[in-house]
Amino acid sequence: MANPAQLTTVMKTLADPTRRALFERIAREGEVAATGLVKGSKVSQPAISQHLKALRDAGLVTERREGRHVHYRVASKALEPLADWLDHYRAFWRERLGRLEMLLKETQR
Protein backbone atom coordinates (compact mmCIF):
# COMPACT_ATOMS: atom_id res chain seq x y z
CA MET A 1 0.00 0.00 0.00
CA ALA A 2 1.10 3.59 -0.59
CA ASN A 3 3.10 5.62 1.88
CA PRO A 4 0.46 7.08 4.26
CA ALA A 5 2.08 10.53 4.29
CA GLN A 6 2.12 10.71 0.47
CA LEU A 7 -1.50 9.56 0.29
CA THR A 8 -2.57 12.15 2.85
CA THR A 9 -0.75 14.90 0.98
CA VAL A 10 -2.34 13.97 -2.36
CA MET A 11 -5.82 13.70 -0.86
CA LYS A 12 -5.55 16.98 1.06
CA THR A 13 -4.20 18.78 -1.98
CA LEU A 14 -6.93 17.53 -4.30
CA ALA A 15 -9.66 18.13 -1.72
CA ASP A 16 -9.72 21.80 -2.68
CA PRO A 17 -12.11 22.19 -5.65
CA THR A 18 -10.12 24.99 -7.30
CA ARG A 19 -6.88 23.03 -7.03
CA ARG A 20 -8.58 19.90 -8.34
CA ALA A 21 -9.96 21.85 -11.31
CA LEU A 22 -6.47 23.21 -12.07
CA PHE A 23 -5.01 19.69 -11.87
CA GLU A 24 -7.72 18.35 -14.19
CA ARG A 25 -7.16 21.17 -16.67
CA ILE A 26 -3.41 20.57 -16.74
CA ALA A 27 -4.00 16.83 -17.19
CA ARG A 28 -6.47 17.44 -20.01
CA GLU A 29 -4.29 19.95 -21.88
CA GLY A 30 -0.99 18.13 -21.36
CA GLU A 31 1.10 21.19 -20.62
CA VAL A 32 -0.17 24.64 -19.71
CA ALA A 33 1.58 27.93 -19.06
CA ALA A 34 0.70 29.51 -15.73
CA THR A 35 -0.57 32.58 -17.56
CA GLY A 36 -2.92 30.34 -19.53
CA LEU A 37 -4.38 28.97 -16.30
CA VAL A 38 -5.27 32.48 -15.15
CA LYS A 39 -7.03 33.36 -18.42
CA GLY A 40 -10.61 32.13 -18.45
CA SER A 41 -10.53 31.60 -14.70
CA LYS A 42 -12.42 33.50 -12.03
CA VAL A 43 -9.43 33.09 -9.73
CA SER A 44 -6.74 35.75 -9.35
CA GLN A 45 -3.16 35.26 -10.51
CA PRO A 46 -1.79 35.20 -6.93
CA ALA A 47 -4.36 32.56 -5.94
CA ILE A 48 -3.49 30.45 -9.02
CA SER A 49 0.18 30.71 -8.05
CA GLN A 50 -0.58 29.47 -4.54
CA HIS A 51 -2.60 26.55 -5.86
CA LEU A 52 0.16 25.63 -8.32
CA LYS A 53 2.70 25.71 -5.49
CA ALA A 54 0.53 23.33 -3.46
CA LEU A 55 0.19 20.99 -6.47
CA ARG A 56 3.96 21.15 -7.04
CA ASP A 57 4.77 20.56 -3.36
CA ALA A 58 2.47 17.53 -3.34
CA GLY A 59 4.30 16.10 -6.36
CA LEU A 60 1.21 16.31 -8.54
CA VAL A 61 2.66 18.64 -11.18
CA THR A 62 6.08 19.53 -12.52
CA GLU A 63 7.18 22.80 -14.01
CA ARG A 64 9.30 23.74 -16.97
CA ARG A 65 10.66 27.25 -17.29
CA GLU A 66 10.97 28.89 -20.68
CA GLY A 67 12.23 32.43 -20.32
CA ARG A 68 9.74 34.27 -18.16
CA HIS A 69 7.04 31.66 -18.66
CA VAL A 70 6.46 28.63 -16.47
CA HIS A 71 4.71 25.61 -17.98
CA TYR A 72 3.02 22.93 -15.86
CA ARG A 73 2.29 19.32 -16.60
CA VAL A 74 1.00 16.45 -14.48
CA ALA A 75 3.79 14.44 -12.85
CA SER A 76 3.97 10.95 -14.36
CA LYS A 77 3.35 9.12 -11.07
CA ALA A 78 1.27 11.83 -9.44
CA LEU A 79 -1.76 9.76 -8.55
CA GLU A 80 0.01 6.49 -7.71
CA PRO A 81 -0.53 6.80 -3.94
CA LEU A 82 -4.26 7.34 -4.49
CA ALA A 83 -4.52 4.55 -7.08
CA ASP A 84 -2.69 2.11 -4.78
CA TRP A 85 -5.03 2.97 -1.92
CA LEU A 86 -8.10 2.49 -4.12
CA ASP A 87 -6.76 -0.83 -5.44
CA HIS A 88 -6.35 -2.10 -1.88
CA TYR A 89 -9.99 -1.34 -1.07
CA ARG A 90 -11.23 -2.59 -4.42
CA ALA A 91 -9.74 -6.01 -3.60
CA PHE A 92 -11.07 -5.81 -0.02
CA TRP A 93 -14.65 -5.16 -1.14
CA ARG A 94 -14.49 -7.68 -3.97
CA GLU A 95 -13.54 -10.36 -1.43
CA ARG A 96 -16.22 -9.27 1.06
CA LEU A 97 -18.95 -9.16 -1.57
CA GLY A 98 -17.85 -12.56 -2.86
CA ARG A 99 -18.23 -14.01 0.64
CA LEU A 100 -21.64 -12.37 1.04
CA GLU A 101 -22.77 -13.85 -2.27
CA MET A 102 -21.66 -17.33 -1.16
CA LEU A 103 -23.45 -16.92 2.17
CA LEU A 104 -26.66 -15.82 0.44
CA LYS A 105 -26.51 -18.82 -1.90
CA GLU A 106 -26.03 -21.17 1.07
CA THR A 107 -28.95 -19.69 2.98
CA GLN A 108 -31.28 -19.99 -0.04
CA ARG A 109 -30.84 -23.76 -0.22
SS3 labels along the chain: CCCHHHHHHHHHHHHCHHHHHHHHHHHHHCCEEHHHHHCCCCCCHHHHHHHHHHHHHCCCEEEEEECCEEEEEECCCCCHHHHHHHHHHHHHHHHHHHHHHHHHHHHCC
**pLDDT tens-digit readout, 15-49:** 999 999 999 999 999 999 998 888 877 889 999 99
What mean pLDDT value characterizes the chain?
89
- Taking domain 4-107, whether its CATH number is 1.10.10.10 is answered by yes
How high is the pLDDT of residue 2? 62
- What is the pTM assigned to this prediction? 0.79
- Domain parsing of the chain, residue ranges: 4-107
Q: Mean pLDDT throughout 1-20?
A: 89
